[in-house]
Amino acid sequence: MAPVEASAAATAAAPAAPEKAPAAADQAEAPDGGLDAPVLLAEGLTKRFGDRTVVDGISLRVGVGEIVGFLGPNGAGKSTSIAMLTGALRPDAGTVRVAGVDLAAEPRRAKRLIGVVPQEIALYPSLTARQNLRFFAGAYRLPAGLRRERIAWALDVVDLADRADDRVSAYSGGMQRRVNIAAALLHRPRLLFMDEPTVGVDAQSRNQIFEAVLRLRDELGMAVVYTSHYMPEVERLCDRFVVVDGGRVLAAGTHRELLRPLGEGLLEWAPTGAELARLPDGLEGLAARLARHGDLQVLPPSAGDGPATLRLRAGRMSDALHEVAQIAADHGIGLGGIRLGRPDLESLFLTLTGRHVRDGA
Ligand SMILES: Nc1ncnc2c1ncn2[C@@H]1O[C@H](COP(=O)(O)OP(=O)(O)OP(=O)(O)O)[C@@H](O)[C@H]1O
Ligand SMILES: [Mg+2]
């Protein structure tokens, strides 16, 4: 994980006030052109660092009240994209419109509609949660008359009202994370970016974070762009997904749309070296026979596996299983190295990128 240039609160120790604090007013107040207009419309976002293009033409559309999972392995370009989408980093190319407001042309107006929960926690540990939120309310120039009420509301959303006057240094990682989320809510943004909000968070806090996201969507129609490495988590929470790697969008759609091309099911076979030796045509022959039943990947071995893992997205699982059983019976091979599964986001990831979502870059 690498720091993102100019990300407003990416330095963990000292929470910096946003340089150009958006003057916060009440929610709404945007020329969004009707209910169907997207709350976020980004096109062709590109960022180069030196001669490396780390975000390479990403486009993104988020509707009102939509929770979008922004997924990719380490170094995929998620945080850099978020920094550009939130006005913390200037893109080399591309445009961002927030509820119809052009971020480059009217940054203050656009930023007023956005909340950002940064990947790194940025709070004053020696202050209480409420004092931290007062700091942020001031930094965001929330009108004085609204501050008390908004701070109480944000604390309630993240379920910290009863601990609000304890010092943040006494909080668990999960509680600190929730204060960080509360800070991003004070001006009631239309669109909330959450960059890995559950890393290092205990199960209870994680559930409270999910509840908060759903409440914001249901009560305020807030849209959320949610970044995470935990696939089961985003499968539960998000309406739609955008999968990125190498700074590009590899796939986008609903769960059903994304998983449809994966076929009926997945069959993984990691035969041992001794098992392969019994096959007249070895790994190649085995791969050729399985490939008749769908799309086959030959993955390099991971720890504990045999020489390779054959990964089949089967068109008809029953036919594939029949073939596998036949091969095993003909050559006296055991079936212990076989795993069956339904397609899920993790398997989509492996299919698209050839690596697990949690592998390093
Ligand atoms: N300020 C910078 N200068 C140079 N390279 C950078 C800078 N910020 C990010 N990068 C590089 O850009 C690539 C994308 O980084 P980014 O932080 O956007 O990835 P990410 O998808 O958020 O990863 P993670 O899951 O680890 O948070 C990485 O290879 C990173 O090293
Ligand atoms: Mg990141």
Ligand 1 geometric centre to CA of 68 (Å)? 20
Residues 129 and 83 in one domain: yes
Residues 198 and 308 in one domain: no
| Secondary structure tally for the chain: helices H, strands E | 12, 14
Q: Is residue 100 part of a domain?
A: yes
Q: Are residues 244 and 273 in the same domain?
A: no
Report yes or no on 10 lying in a domain: no
Residues 222 and 251 in one domain: yes
* 87-145 residue pLDDT tens: 999 999 999 999 999 999 999 999 999 999 988 888 999 999 999 999 999 988 899 89
Specify the residue for token string 């309310």. Answer: 137
pTM for this entry: 0.79
Q: Predicted confidence band at 17 (pLDDT cuts at 50, 70, 90)?
A: very low
Specify if 307 maps to a domain: yes
CATH number at residue 104: 3.40.50.300
CA of 73 to the centre of ligand 2 (A): 9
238 has a pLDDT exceeding 70 = yes
Given a contact cutoff of 8 angstroms between Cβ atoms, the answer to whether 173 and 208 are in contact is no
Query: Which amino acid residue places its CA nearest to atom 4 of ligand 1?
Result: 49
Q: Is the same domain home to 191 and 59?
A: yes
Task: Flag whether pLDDT at 14 surpasses 70.
Answer: no
Asked which of 238, 259, 280 is the last residue of a domain, the reply is 259
11 in any annotated domain? no
Whether 217 and 314 map to the same domain: the answer is no
What pLDDT was estimated at residue 147? 96
Q: Which residue has the higher pLDDT, 301 or 226?
A: 226
Residue pointed to by tokens 């974070």: 209
Mutate to test the pocket of ligand 1, among 7, 11, 49 (most ligand atoms within 8 A of CB): 49
Residues near 339 by beta carbon (within 8 Å), at least 6 away in sequence: 267, 268, 269
Q: Indicate whether 100 and 147 sit together in one domain.
A: yes
Residues 269 and 324 grouped into a single domain: yes
The verdict on 124 and 204 lying in the same domain is: yes
**Closest-lying ligand to the alpha carbon of 71?**
1
| Same domain? 223 vs 296 | no
The verdict on residue 22 lying in a domain is no
How many Cα atoms are found within 13 Å in the side-chain-facing hemisphere of 327? Answer: 24
147 and 55 in a common domain = yes
Which of 7, 78, 231 for a ligand 1 pocket mutation test, highest count of atoms within 8 Å of Cβ? Answer: 78
Minimum-distance ligand 1 atom for the alpha carbon of 47: 12
- 263-295 pLDDT, tens per residue? 778 899 999 999 999 999 999 999 999 999 998
**CA 131, CA 284: separation in Å to the nearest integer?**
64
In a domain, 51, yes or no: yes
| CATH code for the domain in which residue 332 is found | 3.30.70
Residue 45: phi, psi to the nearest 5?
A: -65, 130
Q: How many domains does the chain have?
A: 2
Instruction: Report, as an integer, the average pLDDT of 345-356.
Output: 79
Domain hosting 183: range is 40-259
45 C-beta closer than 6 A to ligand 1? no
254, part of any domain:
yes
For the CA of 80, the closest atom of ligand 1 is 18
Residues with Cβ within 8 Å of residue 120, at least 6 apart in sequence: 9, 10, 11, 12
Last residue of a domain, one of 259, 289, 306: 259
| Per-residue pLDDT band at 183 (split at 50, 70, 90) | very high
Q: Specify if 183 maps to a domain.
A: yes
Per-chain residues with Cβ under 5 A from ion ligand 2: 78-79
Q: What is the pLDDT of residues 151-182, one digit of tens each?
A: 999 999 999 999 999 999 999 999 999 999 99
pLDDT-derived band of residue 342, with 50, 70 and 90 as boundaries? confident
Looking at 259, 293, 308, which one is the last position of a domain? 259
Q: 219 and 95 in one domain?
A: yes
What burial letters (b/e) apply to 63-72, b meaning 16+ CB within 10 Å? bbbbbbbbbb
